[in-house]
Amino acid sequence: MALAETTARPDFAVAEVSRFDASGQPLHVWAHPEGRLWTAAFGEADRREGLSLRSVLGALDAPWHDLPEGMPGPWFGAAAFDGRAWEGFSPLRFTLPALLLWSDGARHFAAAFGDGAHRRLEETRRKLEGAILSSGPDITPARRLRYPAERERWNALVSRALTAIAAGTLEKVVVARAVDVEAGGRIDPAAVLARLERRHPACRAFLVRGERGATFVGATPEILCRIDGDLVRTEALAGSADPASGVALLSSRKDLREHRWVVDHLVGALSGIARSLQRQPEPGLRNLVNVVHLHTPISARLAPGRGVADVAASLHPTPAVLGVPSAAARRFLVEHEGLDRGLYTGLVGWVGPRSSELAVALRCALIRGNRARLFVGAGIVEGSSAEREWLETELKARALLDALGAEP
């Protein structure tokens, strides 16, 4: 049953293992229960950092012919929304783990990279003998913190956006706010992640561990790109409603207009780097546990010489997290939003020589000690109201509030 270890490169070794334990302190976790994929990356054998998606990602997908088929990565990382990172995180960092564990649901694998890879792999196999896949520790109950005038600040922000839209400066801008939670003891990011995986199996659950005790976790419904060879898949996910009202999105002029901007951006960006492109002519519905979105899948065949770096740099950020026109929306956020987004609405995922998967970091929280900060946003267009958009952000916050054991 075991795979033969790869010896073509002295800095890489892989083997199938009977089972493994999810405990420990991974630097990155990536899970897609519906897609039967779970990964955990430990330590660093190598690192790539910078400010340019094109330059950093372009250095990661060079041919590495002896990696086993189906292995995610081996590079895992994240990028901040606007090049500014929180304390303890890098604006753009992808790491080659010293140890990578992954599972396809039926089989479990371990791979080691860097100096001493074969020795480390054997030590890991001995350590994992008889271990079982952990379901995660218990959640420490938490409470949501309320602040004076937070609703008034939101109303003022939306009002400024609508004024700019009426003046013709903007057509759309995505504004965000934070929701803070406090627990009686340390919040365990692994426990939060385990809950997100169980409750949102259609989403990509992720964990990015920073320095000095900071951890970023989430379960995002939005993939920026999935690349397999020259085939790239992306999706427009814009326009939101509660599950009871989801079908009304298909006839909502406001939501359809907001959705169309995202579709047009993705199609236009891919057209410059692809030799063929396909898209669903009309949006459908993406039904999640707490919310329903308008959804349009798009696929393309990349032109020769194009790869994940070109795709990510062309697509990110989309109007689903920024606005239209993008330059004006960015100026508006800098001047008025007043929120340190960090990795929120940035990118998170993995990159490899044959396949890559990058997601937009949504439905997420920054955890430090006994505090967690959740991030939620809404797209403001003509016809938006502060009340409706507030309720939309409350809807989006439920996934993380539930995972943290806090009231809605």
Per residue, the 3-state secondary structure of 187-199, as one string, reads CCHHHHHHHHHHH
- At residue 148, does pLDDT exceed 70? yes
Q: What is the pLDDT of residue 124?
A: 83
Domain around 202: 145-403
Q: How confident is the model at residue 191 (pLDDT cuts 50, 70, 90)?
A: very high
What pLDDT is recorded for position 289? 87
Sign of the four-CA dihedral 254, 256, 257, 262: positive
In-domain check, residue 2: no
Q: Which of 189, 209, 155 is nearest to 400 (CA)?
A: 189
Which pLDDT score, from 0 to 100, does residue 354 have? Answer: 87
208 and 122 assigned to the same domain: no
Confidence at residue 4, expressed as pLDDT on a 0 to 100 scale: 30
**Mean per-residue pLDDT for 120-133?**
70
The model's confidence at residue 203, banded by pLDDT at 50, 70 and 90, is very high
Distance from C-alpha of 132 to C-alpha of 137, rounded to nearest angstrom: 14
What confidence score (pLDDT) does residue 134 get? 47
222 and 360 both lie in a single domain: yes
Cβ neighbours for 182, distance < 8 A, ≥ 6 positions apart = 142, 143, 145, 370, 371, 372
The last residue of one of the domains, among 69, 95, 128, is 128
Query: Mean pLDDT throughout 217-240?
Result: 95
How many angstroms separate the CA atoms of 155 and 385, rounded?
A: 9
Q: Is there a single domain that holds both residue 98 and residue 180?
A: no
Average of per-residue pLDDT across 195-205: 95
Given 171, 172, 258, 392, which residue is catalytic? 172
Contact 53, 79 (CB under 8 A): yes
Using DSSP bridges, classify how beta strands 37-42 and 172-183 pair: parallel, antiparallel or unpaired: unpaired
247 CB burial (10 A radius; 0-12, 13-18, 19+): exposed
pLDDT of residue 6: 35
Do 209 and 284 have their domain in common?
A: yes
Count how many domains the chain has. Answer: 2
172 is catalytic: yes
Residues 103 and 203 in one domain: no
Q: For residue 4, tell me if it sits in a domain.
A: no
Both 120 and 156 in one domain: the answer is: no
Over range 293-312, report the average pLDDT.
96
Q: Averaged over 337-349, what is the pLDDT?
A: 97
Given a contact cutoff of 8 angstroms between Cβ atoms, the answer to whether 148 and 41 are in contact is: no
Q: Higher model confidence: residue 191 or residue 12?
A: 191
Q: What is the pLDDT of residues 344-399, one digit of tens each?
A: 999 999 999 889 999 999 999 999 999 999 999 999 999 999 999 999 999 999 99
Residues 61-113: tens digit of each pLDDT: 666 667 888 899 999 999 999 989 999 999 999 999 999 999 988 888 989 99
Name the pLDDT band for 24 (thresholds 50, 70, 90): low
- Choose among 370, 344, 368: nearest CA to 139: 370
- pLDDT exceeds 50 at position 131: no
Q: How confident is the model at residue 307 (pLDDT cuts 50, 70, 90)?
A: very high
d(CA 67, CA 65): 6
Tell me if residue 396 is catalytic: no
**Is-contact 291 362, C-beta < 8 A?**
no
Domain end: 128, 161, 188, which one?
128
The per-residue pLDDT for 227 is 96
| 53 and 97 both lie in a single domain | yes
Predicted local distance difference test score (pLDDT) of residue 120: 87
Cα angle 177, 179, 185 (rounded to 5 degrees) comes to 150
Q: Give which of 337, 348, 400, 351 is closest to 193, Cα–Cα.
A: 400
List, for residues 51-69, the tens digit of each pLDDT value: 999 999 998 866 666 788 8
Count the neighbouring beta carbons within 10 Å of the beta carbon of residue 130.
8
Separation between Cα atoms, residue 29 and residue 206, nearest integer Å: 5
Question: What is the value of pTM for the model shown?
Answer: 0.92
Tell me what pLDDT residue 400 has: 95
State the CATH number of the domain containing residue 227.
3.60.120.10
At residue 135, the pLDDT reads 46
- Same domain, yes or no: 103 and 168: no
* pLDDT of 221 above 60: yes
Two structure tokens written together for 145: 């913190």
Residue 270 to residue 233: CA distance in whole angstroms: 10
How high is the pLDDT of residue 25?
85
- Of 66, 95, 128, the one marking the end of a domain is 128
Least-confidence region, from 117-131, 183-197, 228-242: 117-131
- Give yes or no for residue 9 having a pLDDT over 70: no
Confidence at residue 155, expressed as pLDDT on a 0 to 100 scale = 97
233 neighbors 277 (Cβ within 8 angstroms): no
Length of the chain: 408
> How high is the mean pLDDT of the chain?
90
Please tell me whether residues 302 and 232 are part of one structural domain.
yes
Question: Contact at 8 Å (CB) between 383 and 228?
Answer: no
**Burial letters 203-218, b for 16+ CB under 10 A, else e:** bbbbbbbbeeebbbbb
- Give me the catalytic one of 171, 197, 222, 392: 222
